[in-house]
Amino acid sequence: MRVTQSMLTQNSLRQLSTSYSKMGKLMEQLSTGKKISRPSDDPVVAMKGMYYRTNLTELEQYKRNLSESYAWMENSEAALEHVQSVMHRASELVVQGANGTLSPEDRVAIAKEIEQLKLDFVQVANSQVAGKYIFNGTAVDKPRILDANDPTSVSNENTPFEVEVSRGIKLQSNINSDNVFNQEMMEIWNGIQAAFENDDIAALSTLKERFDKSADLISAERSELGARYNRLEMIDDRIGYQEVIATRILSDNEDADIEKVITDLTSQESVHRASLGVSARVIQPSLLDFLR
């Protein structure tokens, strides 16, 4: 095959163009820190990157769900602790009121404190987190108790409020409000208040027994909540570990080896300079250059 000057020139220019492309790609990797900047650079890396990013996004969403569950459970725990304190104080007042040495006026004074404790109990029952009522099942837009003086105004909504905290795993974030903020509990509160106001010592004994049983249910509910909180923490630890692994895998797939890129770029620059020198000798002046 006859080799012409034109062929040598075109070949040299094509090789120089290829060298420029290689240098441009290496410089782009160095500036971005990524192996690829577009899917066409390496479709396999791009497809794997999409899968890894989807997995990482999913884990981030689970972490947000975990935060919501933490908020519900921690506020529920604080509320139950407060309710137990309120009921403990009310129990002390009932025992004190059953003492025959107290006058009717003394019991009326105790009735006023019982009323305040009852109102505090109702306030806790209508606790909110981020604008949502946490003790009314999935009816988060409605309060649990509408009227402290009307036990029938207590909602009976008790659907578990479940949050997906991991793939295929949903965890209940609320408590069983029927064991804590129920109609019977409000009947007891109003009954104790009325017994003190009417100086009815006999009624206090019966109400005290019902009151103590309700307190036991609240303790059991608090224990159950604690067990679910412990499980939530274990899931949180696992999600955190999975996030670290997913981030590392994504980095291994997409991040460029900077040391290698710098070495390759230095080597390619040397090759490119040599190519320029050779091309300058290959591309000789033609006859037309002399005729100009």
Domain residues for the domain of 292 are 257-292
- Please check whether residue 18 lies inside any domain of the structure: no
136 and 90 within one domain: yes
- Please check whether residue 225 lies inside any domain of the structure: yes
CATH number of the structural domain spanning residue 69: 1.20.1330.10
At 140-157, the pLDDT tens digits run 999 999 999 999 999 999
186 and 125 within one domain: yes
At 67-85, the pLDDT tens digits run 999 999 999 999 999 999 9
At 153-206, the pLDDT tens digits run 999 998 999 999 988 899 999 999 999 999 999 999 999 999 999 988 888 888
- Please check whether residue 8 lies inside any domain of the structure: no
Question: How many Cβ atoms are within 10 Å of 167's Cβ, its own excluded?
Answer: 10
Cβ 231 vs Cβ 61: under 8 Å: no
> For residue 61, what are the contacts with CB-CB under 8 A and spacing of at least 6?
none
227 and 117 within one domain: yes
pLDDT for residue 24 is more than 90: no
pLDDT at 287 (0 to 100): 52
271 and 175 within one domain: no
218 and 89 within one domain: yes
Among 32-36, 57-61, 225-229, the least confident range:
32-36
241 and 269 within one domain: no
- Please check whether residue 39 lies inside any domain of the structure: no
- Please check whether residue 41 lies inside any domain of the structure: no
230 and 109 within one domain: yes
The DSSP string of 261-286 is HHHHHHHHHHHHHHHHHHHHHHS---
Instruction: Look at the chain and report how many structural domains it folds into.
Output: 2
pLDDT for residue 135 is more than 80: yes
238 and 283 within one domain: no
Share of the chain above pLDDT 90, in %: 54
pLDDT at 3 (0 to 100): 58
At 233-287, the pLDDT tens digits run 999 999 999 999 988 887 777 767 677 777 876 877 777 677 776 666 666 655 5
Rg (CA), the chain: 38
- pTM reported for the whole predicted model: 0.77
Which residue from 90, 61, 83 is spatially nearest to 175, judged by alpha carbons?
83
94 and 203 within one domain: yes
- Please check whether residue 119 lies inside any domain of the structure: yes
- Please check whether residue 275 lies inside any domain of the structure: yes
Q: List the structure tokens of 84.
A: 């137990």
292 and 208 within one domain: no
242 and 269 within one domain: no
Question: How many Cβ atoms are within 10 Å of 38's Cβ, its own excluded?
Answer: 8
Q: Which conformational region is residue 199 in: left (phi greater than 0), alpha (psi within -120 to 50 degrees), or beta?
A: left
104 and 229 within one domain: yes
Q: Which helix (H) or strand (E) holds 191?
A: helix 183-197
- Please check whether residue 110 lies inside any domain of the structure: yes
